[in-house]
């Protein structure tokens, strides 16, 4: 049985301990890093590289090339990420003269298409909320706002009373990077909000001051995990278990706008995307509306005209 190289053991163990303690990575993520480093070690030791600090940038590129044939693009991208993190660790701990992975470039992982619901599925989800209890009124308003305004869950939980302009039917939203945008609020969402604010919220608030629109049962600001749990419960009741998160409703909002003919730049503004390329992913969800728009607008899409 071959002897284990103590330098590899010490470096890998120290790296994993650093990831767990300093970066707080989950166990599954740590296991993925460990598998990648086992793969690197299995390639390096037969070549006489019994210390990870002796690895060069060229050797790491050779290792990536040798691994490419057996790994999917996402796995290759993760392997590069592992090597970069490991290289920085080796350099920082003085186990290598420099960072051997600093110049590595991996494949761009394809963006995962967002999960969306059909309009009828959204209606089924909304139908799971009903009743006159404060929590029921709140939950209905939450679903209407998530789908009707395309908010991120953090934006919904951060809503304050002063952000809502019922007369103008608009909502001021504080998004990522403290950027503010104004979005229209549809009539169903406005109606659900009005009922919640009039009949439900005062009962949960009591005498405690709170500027938040949505409250928990103790009168405090509603948390993101509470909204996630609400969506899971409603999804189960609607027969959509495992398919719905707060972001699913945001994706559905954007997709249904585009399918209804809304301009991509307008959707970008409504979602609060800084870059149009982020919004463009929604054009890949259902291309049927793109074909309809092309066929209706371009003279060469409709075939030859009759004389």
Q: With 70 as the cut, is the pLDDT of residue 292 above it?
A: no
Name which of 12-26, 44-58, 164-178, 253-267 the model is least confident about. Answer: 12-26
- Asked whether 258 and 269 are in contact (CB, 8 A), the reply is no
Q: Which pLDDT score is estimated for 226?
A: 92
Let me know whether 38 and 167 are in one domain. no
pLDDT tier, 285 (very low <50, low <70, confident <90, very high otherwise)? low
Q: How many CB atoms lie within 10 A of CB 122?
A: 22
Instruction: State pLDDT tens for residues 142-153.
Output: 999 999 999 999
Which CATH number belongs to the domain containing residue 34 in this structure? 1.10.150.130
**Active-site position among 41, 152, 251, 256:** 152
140 catalytic? Reply is: no
Instruction: State pLDDT tens for residues 242-279.
Output: 778 888 899 999 989 988 888 888 989 999 888 887 78
Residue 186 CA to residue 141 CA, distance in Å, equals 12
Residue 231 CA to residue 142 CA, distance in Å, equals 10
**Active-site position among 250, 251, 253, 256:** 250
Let me know whether 181 and 81 are in one domain. no
In the listed set 92, 107, 141, which residue is the last one of a domain according to the structure? 92
Instruction: State pLDDT tens for residues 81-120.
Output: 899 999 999 998 889 889 999 888 765 555 565 678 999 9
Let me know whether 46 and 172 are in one domain. no
Q: With 70 as the cut, is the pLDDT of residue 182 above it?
A: yes
Domain that holds residue 159: 119-294
**Active-site position among 84, 138, 251, 273:** 273
pLDDT tier, 36 (very low <50, low <70, confident <90, very high otherwise)? very high
Residue 45: both structure tokens together: 């030791």
253 catalytic? Reply is: no
In the listed set 92, 107, 140, which residue is the last one of a domain according to the structure? 92
Let me know whether 86 and 160 are in one domain. no
Q: How many CB atoms lie within 10 A of CB 201?
A: 22
Q: Which residue has the higher pLDDT, 195 or 259?
A: 195
Let me know whether 140 and 276 are in one domain. yes
Q: With 80 as the cut, is the pLDDT of residue 30 above it?
A: yes
Which CATH number belongs to the domain containing residue 254 in this structure? 1.10.443.10
41 catalytic? Reply is: no
Q: Provide mean pLDDT across the span 12-19.
A: 90
Q: What is the mean pLDDT of the chain?
A: 85
Q: Which long-range contacts (CB under 8 A, 24 or more apart) does 98-104 make?
A: 100/55, 100/56, 100/57, 100/59, 100/60, 101/57, 101/60, 102/57, 103/57, 104/57, 104/60, 104/61, 104/64, 104/80
298 catalytic? Reply is: no
**Active-site position among 38, 97, 176, 295:** 176
Let me know whether 133 and 261 are in one domain. yes
What SS3 state is found at 295?
helix
Let me know whether 160 and 69 are in one domain. no
pTM above 0.85, yes or no: no
Let me know whether 158 and 13 are in one domain. no
Q: Which pLDDT score is estimated for 177?
A: 72
Looking at the DSSP assignment, which residues form a beta bridge with residue 181?
173
* Residue 10: C-alpha distances to residues 54, 144, 231 (Å): 14, 54, 45
Question: Which range is most confident: 5-9, 31-35, 71-75, 212-216?
Answer: 212-216
Q: With 50 as the cut, is the pLDDT of residue 164 above it?
A: yes
Q: Which residue has the higher pLDDT, 231 or 1?
A: 231
**Residue 165: which H helix or E strand, with range?**
strand 164-165
Of 164, 226, 160, 215, the C-alpha closest to 189 is 164
Residue 103 CA to residue 108 CA, distance in Å, equals 15
Q: Which residue has the higher pLDDT, 75 or 166?
A: 166
179 catalytic? Reply is: no
pLDDT tier, 189 (very low <50, low <70, confident <90, very high otherwise)? very high
Residue 17 CA to residue 213 CA, distance in Å, equals 42
Where b means 16+ CB within 10 Å and e means fewer, 241-279 reads eeebbbbbbbbbbbbbbbbeeeeeeebbebbbbeeeeeb
282 catalytic? Reply is: yes
Q: Which pLDDT score is estimated for 1?
A: 35
Residue 21: both structure tokens together: 């303690």
Q: With 80 as the cut, is the pLDDT of residue 44 above it?
A: yes
**Exposure of 170 in the CB half-sphere (CA atoms within 13 A):** 8
Q: Which pLDDT score is estimated for 287?
A: 55
Q: Which pLDDT score is estimated for 141?
A: 97
Q: Which pLDDT score is estimated for 307?
A: 46
> How many structural domains is the chain composed of?
2
Let me know whether 137 and 197 are in one domain. yes
Q: Provide mean pLDDT across the span 17-27.
A: 78
Could you tell me if residue 45 is inside a domain?
A: yes
Let me know whether 48 and 146 are in one domain. no
In the listed set 75, 92, 109, which residue is the last one of a domain according to the structure? 92
């Amino acid at each position: 049985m071959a002897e284990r190289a103590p330098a590899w053991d010490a470096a890998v163990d120290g790296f994993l301990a650093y990831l767990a303690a300093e970066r707080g990575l989950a166990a599954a993520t740590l296991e993925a890093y460990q598998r990648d480093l086992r793969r690197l070690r299995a390639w390096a030791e037969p070549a006489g590289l019994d210390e990870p600090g002796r690895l060069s940038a060229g050797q790491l590129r050779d290792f990536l090339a040798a691994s490419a044939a057996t790994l999917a693009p996402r796995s290759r991208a993760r392997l590069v990420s592992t090597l970069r993190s490991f290289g920085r660790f080796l350099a920082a701990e003085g186990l290598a003269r420099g960072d051997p992975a600093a110049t590595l470039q991996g494949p761009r992982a394809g963006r995962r298409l967002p999960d969306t619901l059909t309009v009828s599925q959204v209606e089924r989800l909304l139908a799971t909320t009903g009743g006159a209890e404060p929590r029921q009124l709140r939950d209905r308003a939450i679903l209407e706002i998530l789908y009707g305004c395309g908010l991120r869950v953090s934006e919904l939980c951060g809503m304050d009373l002063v952000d809502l302009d019922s007369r103008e039917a608009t909502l001021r939203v504080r998004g990522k990077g403290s950027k503010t945008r104004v979005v229209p609020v549809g009539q169903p969402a406005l109606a659900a909000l009005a009922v919640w604010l009039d009949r439900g919220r005062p009962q949960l608030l009591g005498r405690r001051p709170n500027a938040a629109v949505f409250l928990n049962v103790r009168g405090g600001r509603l948390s993101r995990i509470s909204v996630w749990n609400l969506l899971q419960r409603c999804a189960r009741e609607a027969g959509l278990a495992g398919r719905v998160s707060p972001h699913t409703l945001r994706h559905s909002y954007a997709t249904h706008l585009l399918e209804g003919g809304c301009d991509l730049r307008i959707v970008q503004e409504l979602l609060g995307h800084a870059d149009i390329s982020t919004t463009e992913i929604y054009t890949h969800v259902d291309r049927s509306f793109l074909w309809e728009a092309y066929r209706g607008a371009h003279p060469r899409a409709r075939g030859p005209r009759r004389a």
